[in-house]
Homo-oligomer: A and B are copies of this chain.
Amino acid sequence: MLAQTVLRFQRRGARAHIRHLLKKQHPADVAKMLMELPVPLRGEMILLAGSPDMQADVLSELDAEVAGRIISMLEPEAVVIRIIEGMSSDDAAALLRTFPEDERARLLGLMRNEESEDVEGLLTYRTDTAGAMMTPDIFSLQEGVTVEEAIRALRDAREAREAETVFYIFVVNALEQLVGVISLRQLVVSNPKARLEDIMEREVVTVDAETDREEVARVVEHYNFIAVPVVDEQRHLLGIITVDDVLDVLREEATEDLLRMSGASDLPQRGTSILARLPGRITWMLTATLVAWVISWIVYGWAPVQGNSSDFVSPLSWLVLLPMLIVISITMAMQAAAVAIGAVTLETIPTDAIWPYFVRETGAGITMAVACGGLSTLGLWVMLGLSVAWPLGLSVASGAAVASVLGSGIPLLLHRFHRDPTELGGVIVMCFAAISSSLCGLLVAHGLQ
């Protein structure tokens, strides 16, 4: 809606109207509006969004890659630098990561030293680590400071926009090592003459700059933190990671699970093209091809090459059986795997209750396999007559049952041994299921002759 109004004003050249309209919006809403505009207009429109600081806030709300493309549209360069300087260091670093090496160095060279140093520091950490996620703009005080002095320091930092998100005050010793934490609320209700070291909480959970971002998300989620401090080996305070960054990680992690389940290998790294990600995906596709070929070998070895259509081991009846057996088994395996992974992810299955869960899940799987086998029999009856249909239906049912057991069994087994249940990936689960259910189904069809 906002986007449509802006577009209407833009067509009429009413730039002042746009400026007035955007001034009253939340940066997150302006960011959302920009995403709905045609790409070439985005650069022009962000310049109408309030002060350079507001523009910086809007860019911070955007995906780094999208923000990078907008930045590269803008000129003159002084404006660009002013906006990047207005961003918090972690967002600026994420943005600059999307630029080629030389362009990045050039932009850093144009920035004020105190800003570019922070950003350059963050760029030294590997992507996906706590170091790359954290913001180094932290409000920390010495342990000897009194409550009264702390409040005065907070007031003096008023102009520093970075400190807007202060909920905790981190307490450091003379060596800048983290020794405690105080919530703003504790500070407010404490005796003004008390020293921070007397009222602070000394047991602070921290993460290391090299900690994987998924581990950071787990820590924040586990303790219901608003923010977690990042320290080096000597417990020097390097930065903090706030819960909103963790929300992004969780969303990306969930997408990663979805992709793994479907054999699309990695999370699409923002900024990498589809072609760059092709190697990971194609590996899974070639694996699936090899598995399909193994199934074909099984079929080739046992295939009836003669017989008439009233015989269930005839070429025609097997041709009709194969699609049903394979499609149903694969669907069954994927479904069982997704349910098991979902249950594990939501922590509804404790590690010691996996066996009963598996037994119940297998019961459900067999029920569905019987239902699918029954429906298959009806379908095949129409085509080939009952005497051919029932053994083929039985073959479908047994193949589906095996697929269900493997589909739920593999992720649960991984969970039992404290591994990530999506670790093997959906294609592997599907492959196991496809091979063993074909084997089982064809054995049944063969055995009944």
Chain A: residues with CB nearer than 8 A to chain B? 26, 28, 32, 35-39, 63, 65-66, 151, 154-155, 158, 163-164, 166-167, 184-185, 187-189, 205, 220-224, 226, 243-244, 246-247, 250-259, 261-264, 267-268, 270, 273-275, 278, 281-282, 284-286, 288-293, 295-297, 299-300, 303, 305, 309, 315-316, 318-324, 326-328, 330-332, 334-335, 337-339, 341-343, 345-348, 350-353, 360-361, 363-364, 367-368, 371-372, 375-376, 379-380, 383, 400, 426-427, 430, 434, 438
Contacts and interface: CB of A to CB of B under 8 A. Distances in A.
Given A184-B184, A262-B334, A319-B319, A300 B383 contact: yes
Interface SS majority for chain A: helix
B252 A250 contact: no
A205 to B, nearest CB: 8
A255 B39 CA distance: 33
Nearest to A262: B338
Contacts of A205: 26
A216 to B, nearest CB: 13
- Count the copies: 2
15 contacts: A66-B348, A151-B188, A154-B188, A254-B255, A255-B341, A256-B342, A263-B335, A264-B335, A264-B342, A281-B368, A293-B324, A293-B380, A296-B323, A299-B323, A323-B326
Contacts of A282: 367-368, 371
Nearest to A341: B258
List the 8 shortest-distance A-B pairs measured between CB atoms, nearest first.
A254-B254, A315-B315, A262-B338, A293-B379, A292-B327, A224-B244, A288-B331, A295-B323
Contact of A327 (B184, B330, B371): B330
Given A247-B246, A278-B367, A363-B274, A299 B319 contact: yes
A258 B257 contact: yes
A66 B350 contact: yes
A220 B383 CA distance: 56
A330 B352 CA distance: 35
Contact of A65 (B273, B348, B379): B348
A274 B342 contact: no
Given A155-B189, A244-B224, A275-B364, A251 B316 contact: no
Contacts of A158: 189
A28 B205 CA distance: 12
Nearest to A357: B274
A154 B184 CA distance: 11
A153 to B, nearest CB: 10
A364 B274 contact: yes
Contacts of A290: 375, 379
